Structures are given as C-alpha cells and as structure tokens.
Amino acid sequence: MEKRWIRKPAPDAAPVRHLADALRVNEAIVRLLCQRQVCTFEEARAYFRPDLSQLPDPLLMRDMDRAVDRLVRALHAGERVLVFGDYDVDGTTSVALVYSYLCRFFGPERIEYYIPDRYKEGYGVSEAGIDYAQAEGYQLIIALDCGVKSVDKVAYANERGVDFIICDHHLPGAELPAAVAVLDPKRADCPYPFKELSGCGVGFKLMQAFTEHQGLPTAELHELLDLVAVSIAADIVPIYGENRILAYHGLRLLNDRARRQRPGFDALRELAGLQTTDLNISSLVFGFSPRINAAGRMGDAKRAVAMLLADSAEQAKEKAGVVDKTNQERRGFDTSITKEALAMIEDDEVLRTASSTVLFKEGWHKGVVGIVASRCLDKYYRPTIILTESNGKATGSARSVVGFDVHQAIEECAELLDQYGGHMYAAGLTLPVENVPAFRAKFEQIVAGRIRPEQLIPPVEIDCTVQLSDITPSFYRLLSQMEPFGPGNPNPVFASEQVYATPDSVRIVGNSHLKLALTQDGHRSVDAIGFGLGDYYDRIRQGQPFSVCYTVEINEYRGTKTLQLRVKDIRWEK
C-alpha cells in the first residue's frame, strides 16, 4: 500500500545549538529532543532520567480525598471490599495491582476481585456484579478501568447499600454516576495536570494517595509498577509526562534480573520467547497483551488475574499455560474471521470503494471482532467497524485511522444505538440488529463527508533526514536512552536519500521480506530489513538510487548483535 511521508518540522536553530552545547551529543539526537519539547539541559536530564519524585500529587485529582476517606473508613470499620475491573489487559492489571496492595491491609477474608463475564454481563459495571457484592456482604466496590458512564448501575448499587469508588480514564458522559468518588482525569472539572493515565494508572494514583494518607513508605507500592507498565503498553496511551515515568520504572522492574520477578510475567516471557532479551513497550504489546487479553476474549478473565497474582513459578506456569492455550484458540478465530471479512469487502463493489468499513455477521466470535477490525484497517486503511450478534443485539468494535475521531462519528449515530463508548481511535458499540443497515449508511455518510483524502493513505512520520554515516553504535546507544518508545514518544524514524543497495546483498527472506545492505556516497554499508517489502526486490537489484525511511535497532543472530535498519518505506529518486 502506498504510504504518505510526513516530515516533521525542523525545530528552531537557537534551542538546538544551545542544547547541543550543553549535552555535546550528535546534533540529530538534539533535534529529536527539541521536536519532543525537550529544549533545555534540565528538561533533558528529567527526560533521560525519569524520577518517581516527579509524579504529580494524587490529591490534585478531583474526588481523590473523598475516595481515600471512604477507603480508610472501610478499613477501620471492618467492611468488605470488592475490586471490580474490566476484562482487558488494562482492567486485569488494574485489579491485580489494587487487590494485591489492599490485601496487605484488609486481609484476604475482607477483599475479593470480580471480573464481569464478557458475554453474559457485557462491558463495564454490571447488575450481576452488584448483586454478587450485596449477597456476599461487600459494602464498597472499587471499579477499575470502567464505570464513568455507569449512571444507572451506580444508582442500582446505591439503592442496595453498596458504595462505589470509580477509577476510570475514559471520556465521561453528560452525567457522572452518583458514586462516593469518581476518579477520572478526563472529567471536565478535574484539575489533575496529566490527563492520559491508563485505567491501571488511575488505580495506582488511588493507592498512592492511600499510602501517603497512612504515612507509609512507597517502596512496596512502587514494586507494582510492572503492572502499570503493561497496562500503558496494552492500552496504547501516550508515553510522555507521567506515563513515561511510570512505564520507565515498570520496565526497569521487568528487566531487573537481580530482583524476584512476578512469576506470572516470567511465565509469559517464556511463552513469548522473550527470556534472553530486555522487554520494551513493543514486546509487551505483542508478547504479553494478546495472551492476557485472550482470557477475557475467549472465556474467563479471572484466569488472567490469577496468573498475575500467582505466588510460585509452578502456579504461574500452570495459569499461563491455560491463558496461552486460550490465545491459540483466539488466533484460530481471528484468522478465519479476518479471511471472511476481507472477502466480504473484496467481493462487494460498494464496500470496496467506500470511505469506511462496517461489516456484520451473526456467527462471528465476539471476542475477536476488535482484532479483525484492526486487520481490515491494515488492508483497507479507513475507519472500520466489525459487528457480530450477541444476546439478540449487534455488538462490536471500531478502529480508526490517524486523525479521524471514530468515537465522535459513532456518537453522531446515537439514535440508532443502545450503547457505545471508547476513544478517538478505538470504540465499542451495541445496537439492534435491524438497525445495522441504517447505521452502516449513516456512519459512511459521516465519514465520507468529514475524512480528508490524505487520511485514507497510511502516514509515515519522519523525524529528520540523516546520512547513513551517522548511524553508528554510539548513535544507537544515545537513541536507546530515549526509551520507552510508544505513542507520544515514538521510536524515531529517519530518512536517508540517494542510497543504494550493495551488490549481491539484496534477497528475499520469509517469502515477502526484503533483506539488503545500504550504502551512501561510497561509505560503509549498513544492514537493513523491510518486512513485507519484497515487491521492491527487482527494481532495487537494478541499481537505481532511492530514498528510504527507517528505525534503528539491534539484530541478534546466533549470539551476535549487529546494528540494523528496519525499513518502513522506499521511494524512488526522481
């Protein structure tokens, strides 16, 4: 698929010179920092050495004082607490963090966790969960990664004498639930300075405020940042500000071989084949997240929480094995349904030429429709919604392209929907089956009328143009200190012009991947690989010059580590 190269504006020369004089590093690194609003020596020191002392005061969050007061009252009054969380990675890590930390104070007999059944109860706070709390004598529910729109469910709980503390990070509706406390930095009236926490991050802030209120040391709480790092990676929240500090220290815990690791993460690491490499955001996204998510997608998400809370390696391996088997089942559904969905588009002229994709089929597995939406978006880069039938309703997931707010577009179809929620780039929705054709037509009308033609071409954002001779081991070492990379702090993409492939280096590996060595101006060559770029083989072999954009990485093969460029796209010189 054709890609759109977007070159980021060059930063002003004055701050670049000032910072280059202060840091005495490669100017390309300094330009990258200034593009990320790191323009002074003090900002650079905070960026390269994120410190937990930089975390904002949790009491700045609206209702935090009320939440802590209610939690402390429950502790001293001998009340029982139910920790309620969503069934995805963010929800299950949130539950594992809050439950394991509060268990030290309440004891296992006074605290329990609850994950709703995706198929019987649906997303978010459920009446079944509230009924369970009432029946078992739980006076307080802490809802994690959900609840900010659960106005009717919280009212239902209030009628039954069950209080709620809500820890959420999704956009609130017009009315907030009548909970004891609604912790959500996206509340319009919330002065908290960082708005992009994960659900687990909000749960962590509650535990931070509770710890400070009790006058306790923070070391034991900080030992749980591995869970926060996994939630940040899985929920694709931006990795700058507070999230970058939390992710940085969570990854340090995950990669600290000297400390006792969380057995559940050790087991996942082994299953994902990541025992010998340091974990980063990408390996958490592709190695950990699918396995943890599969428990909720295909069955009981409590299995994922049990794995995260496992005390021994044996117990963790057993739990992780079940989770991994579930993930293998998920892959089977994912593959077959994706093939069906793509065939539906390819065989229909209207669908093939539309500005959006909305597909519905009764028999598709509800647990993988979000993944299928992502796969279809990869192929036909446009806002995509995949729906299936569940409990007599059409329900599914939406994914969007860069710059297009799919949540807003869905909201404009609200009269056709039973419920919806989510973010700019990912959302969920439920509607009557008979409304699907009308919804498809209205959603397409909204997208077609609003989306710009260039938004339908996948972008590649390029940070700066460099010479291949700049790409050295010392350059890579400086780059690696800019991690963790992710949304908001992406792995830098470089462009180099007038490059050639060295003779006899060009080959196809793994059917469709391009392996080659690049050279420029007669300087030394640098190894490169382009996944899925095998179609460029013939033209590159002809010896024509081209421009290339890429990230820089280390390739390890049979114990030997070498510098490698991961090619994102190629353009021919005019």
Residue 395 is predicted with a pLDDT of: 94
Is-above-0.75 flag for pTM? yes
What are the helix (H) ranges across 78-179?
A: 89-106, 127-135, 151-159
For residue 303, is it within any domain? no
For residue 282, is it within any domain? no
Q: Check whether residue 104 and residue 196 sit in a common domain.
A: yes
Buried b or exposed e, range 508-547, using 16+ CB within 10 angstroms: eeeeeebbbbbbbeeeebbebbbeebbebbeebeeeeebb
Strand, coil or helix: what is 538? helix
**Confidence band of 503 (pLDDT split at 50, 70, 90):** confident
Q: What is the pLDDT of residues 29-51, one digit of tens each?
A: 999 999 999 999 999 999 999 99
Q: What is the pLDDT of residues 1-34, one digit of tens each?
A: 789 999 999 999 898 999 999 988 888 999 999 9
Please, are residues 527 and 565 in contact by the beta-carbon 8 Å criterion? yes
Q: Look up the CATH number of the domain holding residue 141.
A: 3.90.1640.30
Q: Check whether residue 84 and residue 115 sit in a common domain.
A: yes
Nearest partner of 67 among 124, 4, 147, 10, judged by Cα:
147
For residue 35, is it within any domain? yes
For residue 314, is it within any domain? no
Q: Check whether residue 70 and residue 126 sit in a common domain.
A: yes
The last residue of a domain, from among 423, 456, 489: 456
Q: Check whether residue 387 and residue 496 sit in a common domain.
A: no
Residue the block writes with tokens 């329900």: 395
Q: What count of other Cβ atoms lies within 10 Å of the Cβ of residue 98?
A: 28
Q: Check whether residue 43 and residue 184 sit in a common domain.
A: no
The last residue of a domain, from among 438, 456, 474: 456
Q: Check whether residue 441 and residue 498 sit in a common domain.
A: no
End-to-end CA distance of the chain: 20
For residue 419, is it within any domain? yes
Q: How many domains does the chain have?
A: 3
Q: How many residues does the chain have?
A: 574
Q: Check whether residue 563 and residue 452 sit in a common domain.
A: no
For residue 399, is it within any domain? yes
Q: What is the pLDDT of residues 249-307, one digit of tens each?
A: 999 999 998 787 799 999 999 988 998 888 999 999 989 988 888 776 666 778 889 99
Q: Check whether residue 83 and residue 200 sit in a common domain.
A: yes
Q: Look up the CATH number of the domain holding residue 411.
A: 3.10.310.30
Residue 375 is predicted with a pLDDT of: 93
For residue 514, is it within any domain? yes
Q: What is the mean pLDDT of residues 145-164?
A: 96
Q: What is the mean pLDDT of residues 555-568?
A: 88
* Cα 438 from Cα 355, distance rounded (Å): 16
**Confidence band of 353 (pLDDT split at 50, 70, 90):** very high
Instruction: Select the more confidently predicted residue: 485 or 327.
Output: 485
Nearest partner of 447 among 368, 360, 372, 380, judged by Cα:
380
Residue 423 is predicted with a pLDDT of: 79
The last residue of a domain, from among 439, 456, 473: 456
Q: Look up the CATH number of the domain holding residue 515.
A: 2.40.50.460
For residue 290, is it within any domain? no
Q: Check whether residue 91 and residue 208 sit in a common domain.
A: yes
The residue segments making up the domain with residue 142 are: 58-223
Q: Check whether residue 16 and residue 72 sit in a common domain.
A: no
Q: Check whether residue 441 and residue 507 sit in a common domain.
A: no
Q: What is the pLDDT of residues 217-255, one digit of tens each?
A: 999 999 999 999 999 999 889 999 999 999 999 999 999
Q: Check whether residue 168 and residue 100 sit in a common domain.
A: yes
* Cα 517 from Cα 27, distance rounded (Å): 25
